[in-house]
Amino acid sequence: MSNGDYSSENGAGQAPDGAGIDMDTRVRLRSRNWSDAKIDRSTRQEREAELAKPPNRQTASTAREDQPTNGDGGDREQERRERAANSDGGVFNFRIARWSLPPALMWLVQLQGEASQELFNKLIEEALRASVDEDNIIKACLDGEPPYGGSIYKHVQASGGENYVKQTIARVANAPLSAGDHEREEIHVVRAGAGTDILWRATERALKKRKCPVFVRNDRLVQPLWHWEKAANRNVLVAKLERFSLLQLIDMVGHNAVQFKKLVRGNWIEIDPPEEVIEQLLAAHHYILPQIAGIVTSPTMRNDAALSLITEPGYDELTQLWYKSSDNVQMPPVPERPTRDEAVTALKLLNSLLDGFPFEGETKDKRKSVSRSAALAGMMTTVAIGALEAAAVPLFLVTANDARTGKTYLINLIGVIATGHVPVPNSGARKQEEFEKRVETAALTGRAFMHFNNLPNGMVVESERLAELSSERKVFIRKLGRHEEGECNCRATVAFLNGNNILPSGDLVPRIVSCRLDAQMEHPEERKFAKPYPHERVRADRGAYLAAVFTILRAFRAAGEPEQTCKCVAGYEQWSRLVQQALIWLGEEDPWGTMEDMRAIDPAEENLKRLLKALADCKFVDDEFTVADCKEKADAFSGDGYHQARKFTHDVLRELMSERGQINTKSFGWLLRNSRDKIRDGCCIRLSKQGKTRIFYLEGADKLRTATAGAPTADTPARAGAGADKDEPF
């Protein structure tokens, strides 16, 4: 067979079934000097012999990184033999454990011959359309072991390896949605520096007319771009908003919006966009260009009467969202006015993904719980974020009693449904100041999915920034080196947190929908999910799960949104009508049903009640007191220290007033001011007089003393260790 032939054992010019290569591509391949494209018989025999060997522990296949990590290992030998049995004689089998591709793309990777950029580009484009995980694409291109290591592998190795593959994937994903060069506006430049004020405004109008992806966020010009990030040893492609640099905006204007021309010897000659024009455009900070709230990489809903869908790529004026799908998602038709029965069927589809998770309060016979409903609410909120506009949206917390219970996998599953990708996690921090900085950094990216993964065990979460993001849908960020704040629009962002026995505190408690997992076993990592795994089912038909969410919400709207009995926080009424009450209408538990339980174990609430009880036990005259009066009570003790042990009379009050073993009256004064007018058990601290010396009044002290009569007093020995209340969640 000559090298010029493109043939196989089945006949010249015939590719294997399902190869996914159109005829035009095949014709172009024929014209190239390709070597024999068939898989060598010796290679096939070697693979069959390898599959017959017992597994080598040192080289045994490992699970794909995006598979569940809690007990899904299974029998490696059995899995290897099943893959061999289901393959076509070892030629198109999925012998790879570290990556996998659809059968239609496996042939491309196996094709032998000279290095081919054309085949490589075809693989990248088709793989992204098929919603193949980007990490798998990279690994497939870098696999040089037989029966792979063909034309694509040779091209990749000659062009830069992994970085080249990642750059190509990002370039294809970032391909502009605008039209070609022939539609650019013409702007004539008479001489350098002349009419700059007019030219930058004309350039701005051209960008808007051409619908270029140039948007305004926080009074700055930004663009939505796909970027590579590393997450848990995986390569993840994520979309985020990035501020334009001078060179980026010059490139955008020159290639997509404006054709600048200069008169040279009587002829108008095209020139690069003048830097002074683009610099003034960047520095203007007042624009006619569209404002952008965020990025969505999946179809979503608008908040109109019909809950219409955003399915066309590009900018949506009503929601101010920029949509570009992360894959070739195909949705079944969604009825405009679905019935309740259709909504019940859709809910069953979503629930089928969650059956392997050990939700607290569920058994084999009972598949309903507040935690399951919270997980469903997280799915529906992220998918339908466009319909929530500027409404307050709760934060979502997934916690568990032990590691490897499935917290991260549950959030990743929700992320794959909502975005088509495993979300890139953000690390947490115990120190509140550092945690706030990380929230601000994540908010600036404009991602639709904010995930704080594996927070420290038992961490008490307090965050003003997360509270702002939830209720205000914006984050106020202090600008580095300046005494001023910038406002960051986060209307398209939903935040998730997870960790073992972590506790929301203070203002976060009424803003959080909590889901708790409890495997009720010593080694939760030994649990197994049913195959195919939930994330594999989503990747195979993501459109069906998106359509299920849309069907539920439209059905509830079509039914007239009948009001349900539920707990609703002021300011979250729109989210309650759209998501919370729709779930209750279909028979699920109230996703906000754990709020009172979280309040009961909130360390801030516990400290406030301890403070009120300690002040009531001091029995001040007329229940009025100053900080100095409190210090006097805290210093009082019984016993002389010689014949009798010295013991502070009001040791709880002393503990509340102390920092590092010393009483700090200034900090305690701030504590009293921050605690005033908060009624607990009928008692609260009031400010009686405000002058040079603030006088406080304990209102309802008699009620508190009566209510706790016979109960353990507040003056009980404090638990050992500073901050013990925060370190013991239950």
Q: 395-400 and 494-500 as β-strands: parallel, antiparallel, unpaired? A: parallel
**How much is the pLDDT for 230?**
72
Q: How far apart are CA 288 and CA 201, in angstroms?
A: 9
For tokens 């030219």, the residue is 199
Q: Identify the burial level of 32 via C-beta atoms within 10 angstroms of its C-beta, where 0-12 means exposed, 13-18 middle and 19 or more buried.
A: middle
Mean pLDDT over 404-420 rounds to: 93
For residues 271 and 188, the answer to whether their CB atoms sit within 8 Å is: no
Q: How far apart are CA 680 and CA 402, in angstroms?
A: 33
CA angle at 408 for the pair 406 and 410, rounded to the nearest 5°: 65
Residue 710 has pLDDT above 80, yes or no: no
The DSSP call for residue 356 is: T
Q: Which residues contact 24 (CB under 8 A, 6 or more apart)?
A: none
Q: How far apart are CA 702 and CA 690, in angstroms?
A: 24
524: phi then psi, degrees, rounded to nearest 5: -65, -20
Percent of the chain with pLDDT over 70: 78
The DSSP call for residue 485 is: E
- Selected residue with higher pLDDT from 357 and 229: 357
Residue 198 has pLDDT above 50, yes or no: yes
Residue 341 has pLDDT above 70, yes or no: yes
Residue 308 has pLDDT above 70, yes or no: yes
Segment 284-303, tens digit of pLDDT: 988 999 999 888 989 999 99
**How much is the pLDDT for 41?**
41
- 42-51, 148-157, 713-722: which is most confident: 148-157
* Cα R_g (the chain), whole angstroms: 31
For residues 517 and 527, the answer to whether their CB atoms sit within 8 Å is: no
Mean pLDDT over 619-643 rounds to: 81
For tokens 């042990």, the residue is 645
Mean pLDDT over 151-168 rounds to: 92
Residue 591 has pLDDT above 80, yes or no: yes
Q: Which amino acid is at 336?
A: E
For residues 396 and 495, the answer to whether their CB atoms sit within 8 Å is: yes
Mean pLDDT over 599-603 rounds to: 73
**How much is the pLDDT for 581?**
95
Percent of the chain with pLDDT over 90: 33
Residue 705 has pLDDT above 80, yes or no: no
Task: Report domain extents, the chain.
Answer: 7-173, 181-292, 340-594, 603-727
Using H for helix, E for strand and C for coil, what is the string for 20-75?
Answer: CCCHHHHHHHHHCCCCCCCCCHHHHHHHHHHHHCCCCCCCCCCCCCCCCCCCCCCC
Confidence of residue 231 (pLDDT cuts 50, 70, 90): low
Mean pLDDT of the chain: 79
Q: Give the alpha-carbon dihedral of 168, 173, 178, 182, to 10 degrees.
A: 20
Segment 546-578, tens digit of pLDDT: 999 999 999 999 999 999 988 888 889 999 999
Q: Count Cβ atoms below 10 Å from residue 523 Cβ, excluding itself.
A: 11
For residues 393 and 494, the answer to whether their CB atoms sit within 8 Å is: yes
For 592, the token pair is 């906000």
Among 514-523, 566-575, 633-642, the minimum mean pLDDT is found in: 633-642
Residue 30 has pLDDT above 60, yes or no: no
Confidence of residue 3 (pLDDT cuts 50, 70, 90): very low
Predicted TM-score (pTM) of this structure:
0.71
For tokens 């799915």, the residue is 379
Q: Identify the burial level of 224 via C-beta atoms within 10 angstroms of its C-beta, where 0-12 means exposed, 13-18 middle and 19 or more buried.
A: buried
- Selected residue with higher pLDDT from 346 and 615: 346
Q: How far apart are CA 702 and CA 688, in angstroms?
A: 17
Confidence of residue 98 (pLDDT cuts 50, 70, 90): low
CA 501 to chain CA centroid, Å, is: 21
Confidence of residue 642 (pLDDT cuts 50, 70, 90): low
**How much is the pLDDT for 191?**
73
87: phi then psi, degrees, rounded to nearest 5: -90, 165
Mean pLDDT over 596-621 rounds to: 81
3-state helix, strand, coil in the chain (%, to 5): 40, 15, 40
Mean pLDDT over 176-189 rounds to: 69
Q: How far apart are CA 439 and CA 434, in angstroms?
A: 9
Q: How far apart are CA 492 and CA 393, in angstroms?
A: 10
Q: Which amino acid is at 216?
A: V
**How much is the pLDDT for 678?**
86
Q: Count Cβ atoms below 10 Å from residue 110 Cβ, excluding itself.
A: 22
Q: Count Cβ atoms below 10 Å from residue 180 Cβ, excluding itself.
A: 9
Q: How far apart are CA 365 and CA 711, in angstroms?
A: 40
Q: Count Cβ atoms below 10 Å from residue 243 Cβ, excluding itself.
A: 14
Q: Which residues contact 292 (CB under 8 A, 6 or more apart)?
A: 215, 216, 217, 222, 224, 241, 315, 320, 321, 322, 446, 489
The CATH fold assigned to 340-594 is Rossmann fold (3.40.50)
For residues 378 and 397, the answer to whether their CB atoms sit within 8 Å is: no
Q: Count Cβ atoms below 10 Å from residue 346 Cβ, excluding itself.
A: 24
Residue 162 has pLDDT above 50, yes or no: yes
- Selected residue with higher pLDDT from 646 and 511: 511
Q: Count Cβ atoms below 10 Å from residue 148 Cβ, excluding itself.
A: 20
Q: Identify the burial level of 51 via C-beta atoms within 10 angstroms of its C-beta, where 0-12 means exposed, 13-18 middle and 19 or more buried.
A: middle
Among 20-34, 292-306, 538-552, the minimum mean pLDDT is found in: 20-34
Q: Which residues contact 389 (CB under 8 A, 6 or more apart)?
A: 303, 319, 491, 574
Among 32-46, 282-296, 384-398, the minimum mean pLDDT is found in: 32-46
Query: Across-strand partners of 662?
Result: 659
Burial 407-431 (b: 16+ CB within 10 A, else e): bbbbbbbbbbbbbbbbbbbbebbee
DSSP line for 537-603: HHHHSHHHHHHHHHHHHHHHHHTT---------TT-HHHIIIIIHHHHHTTPPPTTTTHHHHHHT-H
Q: 460-461 and 321-323 as β-strands: parallel, antiparallel, unpaired? A: unpaired
Among 389-398, 409-418, 501-510, 631-640, the minimum mean pLDDT is found in: 631-640
**How much is the pLDDT for 251?**
92
Segment 437-476, tens digit of pLDDT: 899 888 888 888 999 999 998 888 989 999 999 998 888 8
**How much is the pLDDT for 136?**
83
Q: Which residues contact 619 (CB under 8 A, 6 or more apart)?
A: none
Q: How far apart are CA 409 and CA 92, in angstroms?
A: 30
Mean pLDDT over 690-712 rounds to: 71
DSSP line for 196-242: HHHHHHHHHHHHHHTT-S-EEETTEEEEEEEEEEEETTEEEEEEEEE
**How much is the pLDDT for 479?**
64
Q: How far apart are CA 146 and CA 41, in angstroms?
A: 12
**E strand segments, 209-347:** 215-217, 220-231, 234-243, 258-264, 267-270, 294-296, 300-301, 309-310, 314-316, 321-323
Query: Across-strand partners of 425?
Result: 451
220: phi then psi, degrees, rounded to nearest 5: -130, 150
Q: Give the alpha-carbon dihedral of 25, 29, 31, 33, to 10 degrees.
A: 170
Secondary structure (3-state) at 185: strand
**How much is the pLDDT for 39?**
36
**How much is the pLDDT for 531?**
87
CA dihedral (644, 645, 646, 649) positive or negative:
negative
Q: Identify the burial level of 494 via C-beta atoms within 10 angstroms of its C-beta, where 0-12 means exposed, 13-18 middle and 19 or more buried.
A: buried
